[in-house]
Amino acid sequence: MKDFIQLTGRMKLGISSYTFTWAVGVKDHLPENPLTWRGLLDLAQELGVGLIQIADNMPLNKLTEDELESLIRIASDKGIELEAGTNNMTTENLELYLTIAERIRSKILRFVIDGENFKPAPVEVISKIRDVESEFRKRKIILALENHDRFQAHQFRKIIEDVGSPYVGICLDCANSFGAGEGFREVVNLLAPYVVNLHLKEILIKRKYHKMGFDIEGRPFGEGCLPLEWILSQLAPECRTAILELWTPPENTIQQTIKKEIEWAEKSIRYLTTHYSQLTTPY
């Protein structure tokens, strides 16, 4: 596998299975031929990025042993680094995905705490992480908790500080916390010291035509309001990877929507690599 740039203040730019959410498949909107990990590897190569985060919409635990070995081999042949991501932070799932992360040589394990029928309190999250922290430390893999919108930023910070391990940090999503009533600056100010992985997500906030309320929608980078330069300036050197995700509003057909996702990904990668020297690719 190629050597990747590891400089203070520099982050490897990558894509995610959530860059192409509609192509992978959204409930009740499944494409005829859903995007697979093979297609995701091809898209990364076409976009010129050497990093992929495969998340819970393309679950790695559903792969057969042969498929997992093929993923590892083909990614290595293409010079693409892999990161593991999942949700539903039960003890069993933590242990399962720690093993998977080690298999694919992922330096972090991005985790959304909640599952469909699993919404633990912060104290339970802390207990579960403490139970497995020694295994993360032993395998030198960092658990990256994503700021999803059930918990507020101060609760995520308390979880990290109470666990008190260099092998537990934050996956900072640029937009998720709006669902918890929190804006960019509040979230970044609280969580920046603990961020080990960044989810790049451009959005636009605009008032509704009748002036009573706002819409928050995804945009390709360069067409929204994310204060990215400021966000990047606040992060510690421990944040080594930045993953493009897209909130792509759907078009009239799933085919049109998938085409739009690809266009937005191309436009976003081009914009990010042109305007932000902190974000690097191996190509």
Q: In the predicted model, is pLDDT for residue 257 greater than 90?
A: yes
Distance CA 57, CA 68 (A): 16
Flag whether 6 is in a domain.
no
Question: Do the Cβ atoms of 116 and 88 come closer than 8 Å?
Answer: yes
Whole-angstrom distance, CA of residue 25 vs CA of residue 36: 10
Which ranges of 1-84 does DSSP label H, i.e. alpha helix?
21-24, 37-47, 65-78
Structural domain range at position 198: 11-277
pLDDT (0 to 100) of residue 281: 79
pLDDT at 236: 92
118 within a domain of the structure (yes/no): yes
Position 10 scores a pLDDT of: 85
- Mean pLDDT on 189-215: 96
164: confidence class by pLDDT, cuts 50, 70, 90: very high
**Nearest-CA neighbor of 254 among 54, 37, 43, 26?**
26
**Residue 3 falls within a domain, yes or no?**
no
Whether 153 and 112 have beta carbons less than 8 Å apart is answered as: no
User: In this predicted structure, what is the pLDDT of residue 5?
Assistant: 27
In a domain, 4, yes or no: no
Residue 193 lies in a domain: yes
Tens of pLDDT along 104-160?
A: 999 999 999 999 999 999 999 999 999 999 999 999 999 999 999 999 999 999 999
**Amino acid 280: pLDDT:** 85
| pLDDT at residue 9, rounded to an integer | 62
Residue 34's CATH number: 3.20.20.150
Domain membership of residue 282 (yes or no) is: no
Distance of alpha carbon 5 from alpha carbon 258, whole angstroms = 31
**Domain tally, the chain:** 1
- Between helix 65-78 and helix 37-47 the angle, nearest 10°, is 10
Q: What are the pLDDT digits (tens) for 42-98?
A: 999 999 999 999 999 999 999 999 999 999 999 999 999 999 999 999 999 999 999
User: What's the chain's average pLDDT?
Assistant: 94
Residues in the chain: 283
32 part of a folded domain: yes
Q: Is residue 70 part of a domain?
A: yes
